[in-house]
Structure 1
Amino acid sequence: MLLHGVGVGRGLSVGSTLRMPEPLPEPADEISQASPAEEFARVKAALAHVAADLEARGEKAGGEAQDVLGAQALMAQDPTLVDDIEERLANHKSADRAVFEAFANFRDLLLQMGGYMAERATDLDDVSQRIIASLRGVAAPGVPESDTPFILVAHDLAPADTALLDLAKVIGLITREGGPTSHTAILARSKSIPAIVGVEGAEGLPDGTLVILDAGAGTVRTAPSTSEIEQANIRIAERLAVASAPLTPGALADGTLVPLLANLGSADGAEEALAAGAEGVGLFRTEFLFLDATEAPSVETQLREYERMLRAFAGKKVVVRVLDAGADKPLSFLNDEKEENPALGLRGIRALRASEQILTDQLAALALAESAVNDSASPGERVELWVMAPMIADSDDTEYFVSLAREAGIRVAGVMAEVPSSALVADQIFETADFVSIGTNDLTQYTLAADRLLGSVANLQDPWHPAVLRLVGMLGRAGRNAGKPVGVCGEAAADPALAVVLVGLGVTTLSMTPAALADVRAELARHTLAEAQELARAAIAATSAERARTAVLRLSAANAVG
């Protein structure tokens, strides 16, 4: 039997499955025998315990996992939730029932908001389970223990569990829910764990089922033959060899350079990215400075963080995205009004235009950081700062942003192409922008009208779809005609086979999670530019994402044999 889902990375695993234990049962809705004050004291102690535990797990895990778990720790003590719990206790609910109802109510609100906030609903469920377990004095449901390596199967996986997985034991992940940008996917990718999310039928895999997990193909094969297992093990060995190969600049077989850059959420990931061979940063997300703040950070606060990132990549290019927030990532100081469809609301450049001071402060901090780093640097150590804005729809958005960037002293200003309209008027956008970076996650979401964080439509959230690739091709042609670079910083760049197609469509740089650099570097080196263009033509001629992927893989294999 073959199960399908959304693969995370290109890894393979062969092993037996082991399921996550079922969540704690829903607390009974009954009157508490203790006083509201006594129950509230218990709740406060449980909240503090869970928050401290999550913080400790985050410090131990480090990197992106620490950011995720830090956010969960804040959830555990969110004042709105605490007030809601206290109000329910005043109505003589038991402590665990009050916690359950308050978190469930907040979870439902997030689900209604959709997008980024809907994905946080899973995190709330996990925090709720941990608090209830603390109140009951039992262990919270978590990753099962085993004496032998196994492939973990779960409905979904909480960040606190993913962050501290024992990589000597957990050799793969299969989840029923989740999309390519869920926390499970993000953390699995950062840890280089082969994973497939959004797998329909995953709940039917009993413990001990022997499977081949192929993240590259997005498939789980049950009851594989001896021959299939042997072939999978050969491919696993080949990937290990690729990972240990000497680091070289990204390039095609004919010498065409394709710089390979890293996507980073803070300067903390710089060392890992450089060790993996990143030739710079293609997407530096600045949201970490804003999302947990009650007011916009000062120029001085931002300056310190930007300097840290730029110094880490001395002599290289760093592409910074200004704040990408709005209705789907509400900030009280930016826009916290409820919207019926936040994915189509006031987000990205739209939100920044409505709160221009936040944007001008950020641009000022970035310009100051570049000057501070380069003024004392030797010519070979000078960093090249590029700055881009998210959710650009047309030339008007482009002219607005580039004009402000120039006034602030930013020398290279570009835009992100995430809205289909940006591809349709790409020639107009390139009249003003110095470069375009394609965010394939959102571009796919908007092209196919499929929420990129919703597991039920994960099969539609596929950047291999010919409609998405044709838009990429339009941007590539416009960039070539204008003599300006076109990059990709979405998850599509981390798929080696798709990365070659993107280059064939006119993309000049690829940016991805550092864990994907080795696989992409190796795949590019197998193809000439003419072959990449041939693969691109095969992909856009297909009638579905699956057929595009199949056509490219077959043609690539035939070229290798030939």
Structure 2
Amino acid sequence: MTVDAGPTTFQGVGVGRGMVVGPVAKAHPSPAVPSDGGPGDAEALRAAFAAVAATLQERAGAAEGAIAEVLAATAQIAQDPALLADAEQRVAAGESPAQAVDRAVDRFAEMFRAAGGYLAERVTDLRSVRDRVLALLLGLPEPGVPALEVPSVVVAEDLSPADTAALEVDKVLAIVTEHGGPTGHTAIIAGQLGLPCVVRTTGVMEVEAGREVAVDAATGTVVVDPAEELRAQARERARVQEELEGDTAPGSTADGHAVALLANIGTAADAGRAAATPAEGVGLFRTEVLFLERSSAPTLEEQTAVYAEVLGAFAGRGGGDKVVVRTLDAGADKPLAFVTQPGEENPALGVRGYRLVRREPELLRTQLAALAQAAKDTGTSPWVMAPMIATAQEAADFAALAHEVGLTEPCKVGVMVEVPSAALRAADLLRHVDFVSLGTNDLAQYTMATDRLRGSLADLLDPWQPAVLDLVAATARAGAELGKPVGVCGESAADPLMALVLAGLGITSLSMSPGALPAVRHLLRRHDLDTCRAAADAALAATSASEAREAVRALVDPAVRDALAL
């Protein structure tokens, strides 16, 4: 089925704020299993899995940031001995290698979906491994996006991390998928690459390759054969974005109330790029990338070298030298090959983040010691925080360990607020640490009892949900009462309208992908603190996410609102 001639609009969930017009490039479909099962034997099966794992590992090594992280995790699936053993048993029972792979992956996908949480999102990665193994077994081209001859809008049912990593980024204008969610792998990687993205766009695969579409991430729309009015709008949005990028002033409201604008990074290379932007430092350094690509834990010396490179990128920098390092956030969808967890019925509620200290205390001790040595080597004073803290005792224990290994003043020790219990008792946590940082993606997940990677429930995961805002407000109040910084490093920090609310609540810093900084900076600098406080009051008084957002939108200067397509 194809789209009829004339303008047709598809509605999805937008990620980012950009707008582009370009031709559609459609991803190659997944291989089908032949009716006769196809050729091959157990040896061919093992070779195909090994080749796919090696290719994914190679791409992970060449990639950076979130792309490297998710590619490494997908490579681990291809190396999963349980998955291979299941397929081998099926071949021994008389199935062809292609049938065995297909059915083994189906079985594991069903288990992942039943487990829910992060594992449910990894079904996309399982399917990616399945497709690549089948392509090798059947002698077919690798599934995914074909080579792009001209700058194009990539359209797919969904993109695995491997698909996204293989993109010719300089020729990709935007990414549109039928499935996925706003905090899934595709959306995260699109954000890192600075690409407009629309997910959950039902029916978009009906659009023929080569057909021109207008993709508007701000509204979550994809318009086929756009009229000149939309094309002009896209050109104007691009012009405004270029103009905003020329503003390098520190983050603040119109009347000078400072709100530090920081960058999220995943690798040392990300740090170098962020240091070249007006970002006032790093609000979230995801250290797990260093761990995920390995079959054994990185040594103290290896970690020290990486942390020193990141800290050195911002050392003595006039635009801000703050670097907030998050300790290992592994488990659930980010398993470590060298710290295997027995089957968990609900991984999102299991042993992840700081909770790994219960099983492998030396992992955290070594990481903190490496950071302390890197700080000494570079003459810097990093900020360090632990993820998935649920109690004041955990916060106290983490702070004590950090101080014990040498992370003392002027270094700062803090924790993430991602669990409702931490938000509700934020004052108790802050009595033991120097600062807290809100991870609003997980906070929304746990507050709304909703898998944050389940695209079909994206409305419940909206950071504008009043219950989530109540917890953010409670955390900010605790910080203000104790005179300690409270930052936000979740996706809500990248929403310019939400930035007004967060500033009004008393949040002291916002951390996001570097590409989101210009619009957030612009909106803050066009509104005073009283307006921000009014925006916060309006959002908290609302009874739904949409009502909260519209109430704040009504307070924004119309000229600024139109320029940013808010």
TM-score, with structure 1 as normaliser: 0.89
Counterparts in 2 of 1:207-356, with a 5 A limit? 211-221=213-223, 226-243=228-245, 245-315=246-316, 316-331=321-336, 334=339, 336-356=341-361
Following TM superposition, by how much is the alpha carbon of 1:4 offset from its aligned partner in structure 2, in angstroms?
Answer: 4.2
- Does the CA-based 8 Å contact 1:113-1:328 persist in structure 2? no
Counterparts in 2 of 1:68-217, with a 5 A limit? 68-144=70-146, 149-167=151-169, 169-203=171-205, 211-217=213-219
Structure 2 CA distance for aligned equivalents of residues 112 and 28 of structure 1: 29
Following TM superposition, by how much is the alpha carbon of 1:332 offset from its aligned partner in structure 2, in angstroms?
Answer: 6.2
Distance 1:391 1:308, change over 3 A: same
Distance 1:328 1:135, change over 3 A: closer
Equivalent residue, structure 2, for 1:469: 469
The answer as to 2:549 corresponding to 1:549 is yes
Distance 1:69 1:292, change over 3 A: closer
Distance 1:333 1:166, change over 3 A: closer
- Does the CA-based 8 Å contact 2:69-2:293 persist in structure 1? no
The answer as to 2:395 corresponding to 1:398 is yes
Relative to structure 2, which stretch is displaced further, 317-326 or 431-440? 317-326
Structure 1 CA distance for aligned equivalents of residues 156 and 274 of structure 2: 30
Counterparts in 2 of 1:505-524, with a 5 A limit? 505-524=505-524
- Does the CA-based 8 Å contact 2:150-2:171 persist in structure 1? yes
Amino acid at match of 1:425: R
Structure 1 CA distance for aligned equivalents of residues 512 and 170 of structure 2: 25
Report the 3-state secondary structure (helix = DSSP H, G, I; strand = E; otherwise coil) of the residue aligned with 1:338. coil
Aligned equivalent of 1:24, options 25, 31, 35: 31
- Does the CA-based 8 Å contact 2:60-2:293 persist in structure 1? no
Distance 1:66 1:535, change over 3 A: same
- Does the CA-based 8 Å contact 2:72-2:293 persist in structure 1? no
Aligned equivalent of 2:377, options 351, 372, 391: 372
- Does the CA-based 8 Å contact 1:155-1:176 persist in structure 2? yes
Distance 1:469 1:87, change over 3 A: same
Aligned equivalent of 1:360, options 362, 365, 374: 365
Render the CA deviation track for 1:430-461: whole Å, top value 9, x for unaligned: 22221010000001111111111111212221
Structure 2 CA distance for aligned equivalents of residues 51 and 327 of structure 1: 20
Render the CA deviation track for 1:197-228: whole Å, top value 9, x for unaligned: 23345455566766543222334456766545
Structure 1 CA distance for aligned equivalents of residues 227 and 168 of structure 2: 28
RMSD: 2.8
Render the CA deviation track for 1:368-395: whole Å, top value 9, x for unaligned: 2212221xxxxxxxx2211111122232
Following TM superposition, by how much is the alpha carbon of 1:419 offset from its aligned partner in structure 2, in angstroms?
Answer: 1.0
Unaligned runs of 5+ in 2: 1-7
Equivalent residue, structure 2, for 1:423: 423
Following TM superposition, by how much is the alpha carbon of 1:147 offset from its aligned partner in structure 2, in angstroms?
Answer: 5.6
Following TM superposition, by how much is the alpha carbon of 1:321 offset from its aligned partner in structure 2, in angstroms?
Answer: 1.3
- Does the CA-based 8 Å contact 1:266-1:285 persist in structure 2? yes
Structure 1 CA distance for aligned equivalents of residues 150 and 303 of structure 2: 46
Equivalent residue, structure 2, for 1:377: none
Equivalent residue, structure 2, for 1:10: 17
Amino acid at match of 2:257: T
Relative to structure 2, which stretch is displaced further, 481-490 or 226-235? 226-235
Report the 3-state secondary structure (helix = DSSP H, G, I; strand = E; otherwise coil) of the residue aligned with 2:330. coil
Following TM superposition, by how much is the alpha carbon of 1:104 offset from its aligned partner in structure 2, in angstroms?
Answer: 2.7
Equivalent residue, structure 2, for 1:378: none
Render the CA deviation track for 1:175-201: whole Å, top value 9, x for unaligned: 122223322112111111100123345
Relative to structure 2, which stretch is displaced further, 6-15 or 488-497? 6-15
Amino acid at match of 1:399: A
Distance 1:372 1:56, change over 3 A: closer
Distance 1:356 1:48, change over 3 A: closer
Report the 3-state secondary structure (helix = DSSP H, G, I; strand = E; otherwise coil) of the residue aligned with 2:254. coil
Distance 1:551 1:2, change over 3 A: farther
- Does the CA-based 8 Å contact 1:152-1:173 persist in structure 2? yes
Amino acid at match of 2:367: Q
Relative to structure 2, which stretch is displaced further, 395-404 or 164-173? 164-173
Report the 3-state secondary structure (helix = DSSP H, G, I; strand = E; otherwise coil) of the residue aligned with 2:107. helix
Following TM superposition, by how much is the alpha carbon of 1:482 offset from its aligned partner in structure 2, in angstroms?
Answer: 0.9
Structure 1 CA distance for aligned equivalents of residues 95 and 268 of structure 2: 45
Equivalent residue, structure 2, for 1:539: 539
Amino acid at match of 1:489: C
Equivalent residue, structure 1, for 2:494: 494
Report the 3-state secondary structure (helix = DSSP H, G, I; strand = E; otherwise coil) of the residue aligned with 1:157. coil
Structure 2 CA distance for aligned equivalents of residues 121 and 103 of structure 1: 9
Relative to structure 2, which stretch is displaced further, 469-478 or 513-522? 513-522
Structure 2 CA distance for aligned equivalents of residues 58 and 332 of structure 1: 15
- Does the CA-based 8 Å contact 1:392-1:422 persist in structure 2? yes
Following TM superposition, by how much is the alpha carbon of 1:145 offset from its aligned partner in structure 2, in angstroms?
Answer: 5.9
Following TM superposition, by how much is the alpha carbon of 1:314 offset from its aligned partner in structure 2, in angstroms?
Answer: 1.1
Render the CA deviation track for 1:292-312: whole Å, top value 9, x for unaligned: 444444333322222222222
Following TM superposition, by how much is the alpha carbon of 1:320 offset from its aligned partner in structure 2, in angstroms?
Answer: 1.2
Following TM superposition, by how much is the alpha carbon of 1:58 offset from its aligned partner in structure 2, in angstroms?
Answer: 4.6
TM-score, with structure 2 as normaliser: 0.88
Amino acid at match of 2:396: E
Structure 1 CA distance for aligned equivalents of residues 65 and 390 of structure 2: 33
Structure 2 CA distance for aligned equivalents of residues 109 and 292 of structure 1: 24
Structure 2 CA distance for aligned equivalents of residues 252 and 72 of structure 1: 42
Structure 1 CA distance for aligned equivalents of residues 294 and 64 of structure 2: 21
Structure 2 CA distance for aligned equivalents of residues 29 and 500 of structure 1: 61
Aligned equivalent of 2:385, options 367, 388, 404: 388
Following TM superposition, by how much is the alpha carbon of 1:75 offset from its aligned partner in structure 2, in angstroms?
Answer: 3.4
Structure 1 CA distance for aligned equivalents of residues 398 and 149 of structure 2: 56
- Does the CA-based 8 Å contact 1:423-1:475 persist in structure 2? yes
Counterparts in 2 of 1:405-416, with a 5 A limit? 405-411=402-408, 412-416=412-416
Amino acid at match of 2:373: L
Distance 1:545 1:214, change over 3 A: farther
- Does the CA-based 8 Å contact 1:327-1:337 persist in structure 2? no
- Does the CA-based 8 Å contact 2:435-2:484 persist in structure 1? yes
Render the CA deviation track for 1:393-449: whole Å, top value 9, x for unaligned: 232222222222222222221111111122222222222221010000001111111
- Does the CA-based 8 Å contact 1:261-1:512 persist in structure 2? yes
- Does the CA-based 8 Å contact 2:118-2:451 persist in structure 1? no
- Percent pairwise identity: 49
Structure 1 CA distance for aligned equivalents of residues 257 and 55 of structure 2: 49
Structure 2 CA distance for aligned equivalents of residues 370 and 3 of structure 1: 50
- Does the CA-based 8 Å contact 2:73-2:292 persist in structure 1? no
